[in-house]
């Protein structure tokens, strides 16, 4: 795999993961009550516990995308 293909892979990984982050954020915003109800049944956690957990999940996922997808993409682009 040459450098051009590697740059393309990291670029598409970044686009796909940010797309998933946006879709997840929209789903958690629009269908919040239904998702809380489902997760309440599955985990037994109440809404007061689940709401911050969703925010932590989204923040952690965003950091992972930046560290493992966007940063290598930008570093390879600068080469």
What is the residue whose two structure tokens read 């037994």? 44
pLDDT of residue 58: 98
Percent of the chain scored above 70 by pLDDT? 100
Q: What's the token pair of residue 25?
A: 């954020």
- pLDDT, tens digit, 9 for 90 and up, residues 44-69: 999 999 999 999 999 999 999 999 99
H helical segments located in 1-79:
3-30, 32-43, 47-65, 71-78
Give the pLDDT band of residue 1 (cuts 50, 70, 90). Answer: confident
């Amino acid at each position: 795999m040459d450098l051009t293909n590697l740059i393309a892979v990291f670029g598409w990984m970044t686009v796909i993961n940010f797309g998933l982050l946006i879709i997840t954020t929209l789903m958690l915003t629009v269908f919040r009550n239904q998702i809380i109800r489902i997760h309440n049944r599955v985990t037994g956690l109440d809404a007061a516990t689940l709401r911050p957990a969703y925010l932590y999940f989204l923040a952690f996922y965003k950091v992972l995308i930046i560290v493992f997808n966007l940063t290598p993409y930008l570093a390879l682009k600068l080469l």
